[in-house]
């Protein structure tokens, strides 16, 4: 049992849902199956009482979630490069390059961001997920926040749960957009391909993405994106869902194709971009110790700078 707890109220928006599903939407940093185990273990109480996972929510229930103690990490520290944007006694902000996995998993037991962090700060092994508060896909670059203490981890997870951490991305998507907008479509595991996520209206978790047109090209659009929720592959799935997949993302329909009017040499240069065009450029959060509002920024990596320069060079553009 832990002495840290999250307290929340299930709003009327959750009325009619199974309790475990409502909790998974409320406590977005934890999986539904994990929350089911916590219900069984009595770590989650509703109106002061234990409850079953299949209990129907009516709205207004008070939920208390006693956060379980973290098991020591089995990952090993490795002397790998880390691009640290900011660090103090309470947190670390890193700028993750593309082609780096955040947590060890099957096929990626070493060489991950967590391995590098554990070498840099070995005490992270005592924190949930090594102190890493949120994730980025392997081929997405940009900013991540890591807690260095239990108090900081609890505070930052709570901020994430209450949508108080702002995450801003820069992306290149296929096609032209009529206007800026919002995508509100629940996301869950793809029914047949376990490597993919998909929009699932019946049983997906709430997922909301806001996007703003930064620049229109003739065949693509540069977008500024803000996440309201943080589901796995959320931006990639949502943009694919509205038929504007990220450039360079073959998993969700954004594979390279020959752009009409471009010269072969230019297309060859374009083909060297070998990931989804997505970069986590800015983080806004309250410092977990001082409470001060902090903003962190990561410049576009070289490969995305070259990508946008190539589009600027080769395409007509109109005001966005």
Q: Which residues are catalytic?
A: 137
Residue 266: CB atoms within 10 Å:
14
The residues near 144 (Cβ < 8 Å, ≥ 6 apart) are 93, 94, 96, 102, 113, 132, 133, 134, 135, 136, 280
Residue 268: CB atoms within 10 Å:
10
Long-range contacts of 48-53 (CB under 8 A, 24+ apart): 51/19, 52/19, 53/18, 53/19, 53/20
H or E segment to which residue 294 belongs: strand 293-297
Residue 262: CB atoms within 10 Å:
18
Contact criterion met (CB below 8 Å) for 165 and 301: no
What sections of 162-257 are H helices per DSSP?
A: 234-241
Contact criterion met (CB below 8 Å) for 97 and 141: yes
Torsion of CA 159, 163, 169, 175, to 10 degrees: 160
Residue 271: CB atoms within 10 Å:
11
């Amino acid at each position: 049992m832990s002495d840290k707890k999250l307290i929340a109220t299930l709003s009327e928006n959750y009325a009619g849902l199974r309790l475990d599903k409502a909790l998974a939407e409320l406590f977005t940093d934890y999986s539904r199956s994990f929350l089911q185990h916590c219900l069984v273990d009595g770590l989650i109480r509703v109106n002061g009482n234990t409850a079953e996972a299949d209990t129907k929510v009516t709205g207004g229930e008070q939920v208390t979630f006693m956060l379980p103690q973290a098991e020591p990490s089995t990952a090993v520290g490795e002397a790998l490069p880390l691009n640290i944007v900011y660090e103090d006694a309470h947190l670390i902000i890193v700028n993750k390059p593309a082609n780096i996995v955040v947590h060890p998993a099957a096929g990626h037991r070493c060489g991950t961001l967590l391995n590098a962090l554990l070498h840099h700060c070995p005490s992270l092994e005592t924190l949930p997920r090594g102190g890493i508060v949120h994730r980025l896909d392997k081929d997405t670059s940009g900013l991540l926040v890591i807690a260095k203490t239990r108090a900081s981890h609890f505070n930052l997870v709570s901020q994430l749960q209450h949508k108080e951490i702002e995450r801003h991305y820069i992306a290149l998507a296929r096609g032209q957009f009529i206007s800026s907008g919002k995508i509100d479509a629940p996301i869950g595991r793809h029914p047949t391909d376990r490597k993919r996520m998909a929009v699932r209206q019946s049983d997906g978790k709430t997922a909301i993405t806001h996007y703003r047109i930064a620049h229109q090209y003739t065949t693509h659009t540069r977008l500024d994106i803000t996440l309201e929720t943080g589901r796995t592959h959320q931006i990639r799935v949502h943009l694919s869902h509205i038929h504007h997949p990220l450039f360079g993302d073959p998993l969700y329909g954004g594979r390279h194709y020959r752009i009409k009017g471009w010269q072969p040499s230019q297309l060859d240069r374009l083909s060297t971009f070998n990931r989804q065009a997505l970069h986590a450029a800015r983080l806004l959060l309250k410092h977990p110790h001082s409470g001060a509002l902090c903003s962190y920024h990561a410049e576009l990596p070289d490969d995305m700078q070259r990508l946008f320069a190539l589009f600027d060079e080769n395409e007509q553009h109109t005001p966005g």
